[in-house]
Amino acid sequence: MRELMILAAEEANAATVVNEFEELLLRIFVVTIMFGLGAGLTPKDFGLALRRPWGLIIGWVTQFGIMPLVTYLLIISVLLPFSSVEGIMLVALGALIMGSVPAGTTSNLFTYFSKGNLALSVTMTVNSTLWAFIMTPAALFIYSNFLGLDESLSIEFSELALVIFGLIVPVALGMFLRRLSANIGAVLELIGGALGLLFIPFLIIIWVPRNWPLLMSTEWPTYAVAIGMGLVGITAAYYLTKLFKMHPMNARTVALETGINNGPLAIAVIIAVYIDNPGIDQILLVPALYSLFIVLISTAVTLVFRRANLAAEQKIPNLL
Amino acid sequence: MTDAIWLDHYPQEVAKELPEIPHHHLPSLMGEASKKYSGQKAFTQVMPNGMNGTLTYEKVDELSDHFAAYLREELGLVQGDRVAVQMPNCLSYPVVAFGILKAGCVIVNTNPLYTAPEMVHQFRDSGAKALVVIDMFADRLPEVIGKTNIETVVTVKISEFFPAVVGKVIRGVQRYWSRSLPPVEVSHTLFKDALAKGKAQASGKDYLEGIGRDSLAALQYTGGTTGVSKGAMLTHGNLVSNTIQMLQMNGKYIQEGKEIVLTALPLYHIFAFTVNLLGFYYVGARNILVPSPRPPSNLKRAFENYKVTWLTGVNTLFNALLNERWFTDRPPKHLVASAAGGMALHESVATKWQEVTGTPIVEGYGLTESSPVISFNPLGGKVKIGSIGIPVPSTLMRCVDENGKPVKQGEAGELVAKGPQIMKGYWQREDETNSTLVDGWLHTGDIGEMDEDGYFTIVDRKKDMILVSGFNVYPNQIEETIAAMDGVTEVGVIGMPDEKSGEKVAAFVVSSLQEPSREEIIAYCREHMAAYKVPSMVTFVDELPMSPIGKILRRELRDGALATASSSSDTSKGA
């Protein structure tokens, strides 16, 4: 959620910036949501995700294979030919970083709402975050070379550890509480789900007005990249899983997990590495837009997935 | 008369005749368990999201005493008065049911999904004076109550007896999210107020004086699938006997005080009423009540959170579970056995169930009119898949021809049965009683066969038989054959009028993938059956009309098919 602070700080008048409180609120939101999601899981769910590692392997391939590639293709086919802004290579660099980071908690939330395999989603997030230590710099190195940029970056392991910690602790605690009492677990899950629903409009309400000038001054090719990454990423991963004949639940999970990357992580990495770069605004542009639009895209995708799930649900006679 | 050759196949621990039962009515039978297991958990209701509430044996006993006092003291009901009960599985159900029986009144189980006219018929026919109803379905009452003798309506909440906070959350979700709480527009008493009134007036009076084995305990309505619904009069003796007969047959597989049984079938249905509510209560089991197993994923949390040892169900339920990935991935570890009844258990389902869970599934047979268990496969003995097993202790069963004469072993005939569980008759329907109960034999309307071991197999319902060019064709066999094909979820087979052969075989198939194709189904049938049995008509449908427990309603299927056929021929004429 750090992007909110940064952008707000840049775009808004310093006197109106009150988002330390908002940031705290968002953190509480995310932890409570993960806590609630955890309360819906059992250790056996994770056992299953690990026992059938295909989902995990395919997810790994789509995460680090598809997303950076999709981003690169969007950059060379849309952003570079059609954009006239100065410093466009910096925008491209930001997009590449966004495309190369792993998934975050947002993907877990949408998997839950899509009736996907939540245990697989959480496992995939942890897995891809661990791998990000090697894979994110590697993907960035390869594609920035293709773009003629000579960029390299390294991710602090502590950044990744923080992500994993923030994910595993609430989930484990939620699982523990459910074991203690199914009633507490169910109530927590309900609260987590409700907060998850509120989370979407809340994010939009605090994001959009404050960044209105930014939204107005951004060119369409940049939008196309920021929106296209998630949309094409989810679609491509979904059809790939279909090719492997994955169970629809797992296919939905892998698709969302692939397309939804960890926006806050990308922004944190950029700030850590490029804080002295005068073009940091441009580098942050795509990650900031992506973080907003991925929530909207995922909501739409979730509605489609839910409808498909309902259609596939077993119709058994009224036993009531 | 048929020799009881099946007795040779009784496992050692199963008595051939029912032992002397010291209990003359249900409250006495239930009372023994309430005392013996007082501190143990008797009922746990589990919502689809895992929220739950529990009542101990002691609590059920106490609360049902209060409800009995309410009925007798507050409402002034007397012995033999009928009380209708209309609710899904929930913690209130056992309290209400036991309360009615303790008051010496008669329980009239009613399907909560009944339409207003169906409710009117059942309430009028039974002459019920009071109704206990779940508030979620109370919106139909204004058009019903005035046409009946019902003087008092008591409404229960689905979250009754839940921990306070959880109960409020469920209530809030019902009210504001799912909007499933219609306003109750008839004068009514809340269940908790009724209990409080009963408690205040409880005097420890014996409401059961004079109630014995022959006294009426339940009017259980049946025959909705054949025509007008009529009340089977089940006595205390019928239900006490059948409870013990069922338990006897399962021998040591049901351990006293240790079982956890998943009750996904509705308790208002006679199968779950006798087997789960009465039987498993009597042996000190914990009943996990699921209000609605629809969709089947509603059962997920119940299986995850409780060490289920027994499951009772119908073919539809077992089949649905086998099609759920969460179930097949992690079949219940503690399961000992499952009992199937209510409708034919398909061999393909039984075999797959045993493969997936690694535990036996035994099929039994019975009718509402027989409380319901007549026969069961003995768990401790020879279990024959595809067979309904052997008669339970103190029960006789045979196949007879049209004149009521027993047929030779191995030949098909109408199944008739005799035993202490057979109903007294139909409520206020002498003619129907006389045609169903002949010399103490219950005529089931099912065609069956007995093999050389005394095991019975159902061939089909007498009235569902299809006559193709003079050959008897039984829809069950064709359904079973088609159901075994990959991709087929459900199938219903009926006879349709045909100019050439009199009747022709028509199959209605539910398949999510639209495969196998029509041609494949017909080819498969050709391979497995005589040519005259092969359907000449295969239609794909989204769903089949089914009874509340999942029996395919062939009559409705036929009516629908005939209507479609005539309207399409009209169109073709017009065009």
- Cα dist from B31 to A36, B56, B154, B182, B569, whole Å: 42, 13, 25, 37, 63
Complex ipTM over 0.90: no
Of A178, A315, A320, which has the smallest distance from its Cβ to B88's Cβ?
A320
Domains observed in chain B: 57-211 (3.40.50.980), 466-569 (3.30.300.30)
- Between helices A182-207 and B164-172, what is the axis angle to 10°? 50
Judged by a CB distance cut-off of 8 A, whether residue B117 touches chain A is no
**Per-residue confidence (pLDDT) for residue B571, from 0 to 100:** 40
H helix intervals, B173-290:
191-201, 236-250, 270-272, 281-282
> From B137, which residue of chain A is nearest by alpha-carbon distance?
A320
**Among A173, A119, A190, which residue's Cα sits nearest to residue B51?**
A190
Structure tokens at B276: 């789960």
Q: Which residues, other chains included, contact B569 with Cβ-Cβ below 8 Å and sequence gap of 6+?
A: none
> How much of chain B is helix, strand and coil, in % rounded to 5?
35, 25, 40
User: Chain B: nearest CA to A184, how far in angstroms?
Assistant: 8
Contact B113 A317 (CB under 8 A): no
**Among B400, B401, B411, B437, which residue's Cα sits nearest to residue B422?**
B437
Cα separation, A261 vs A70, in Å, equals 13
Measured between beta carbons, the chain A residues lying within 8 angstroms of B137 are none
Contact B294 A189 (CB under 8 A): no
CB B454 within 8 A of CB B489: no
**Per-residue confidence (pLDDT) for residue A13, from 0 to 100:** 33
The stretches in chain A having pLDDT less than 50 are 1-18, 320
At residue B385, the 3 state secondary structure works out as coil
CB A255 within 8 A of CB A241: yes
- Predicted TM-score (pTM) of the model is 0.85
Burial class (CB in 10 A: 0-12, 13-18, 19+), B434: exposed
Q: Position A73: which residue type? A: L
**Per-residue confidence (pLDDT) for residue B486, from 0 to 100:** 86
**Per-residue confidence (pLDDT) for residue A318, from 0 to 100:** 57
Contact B265 A319 (CB under 8 A): yes
Residues of A with CB under 8 A from a CB of B: 42, 44, 48, 178, 182-183, 185-187, 189-190, 247, 249, 312-320
Measured between beta carbons, the chain B residues lying within 8 angstroms of A178 are 50
pLDDT along chain B (575 residues), means of 10: 79 87 94 96 96 97 97 96 97 98 97 86 95 94 94 96 95 89 93 96 89 96 67 96 93 92 94 96 97 90 96 90 91 95 85 95 93 93 91 94 90 93 94 90 91 90 76 81 87 86 87 82 86 88 80 84 70 36
**Upper half-sphere CA count for residue B9 (Cβ side, 13 Å):** 22
Q: Which CATH number fits domain A2-307: 1.10.1060.10, 1.20.1530.20, 2.40.10.340, 3.30.200.20?
A: 1.20.1530.20
Q: Position B184: which residue type? A: V
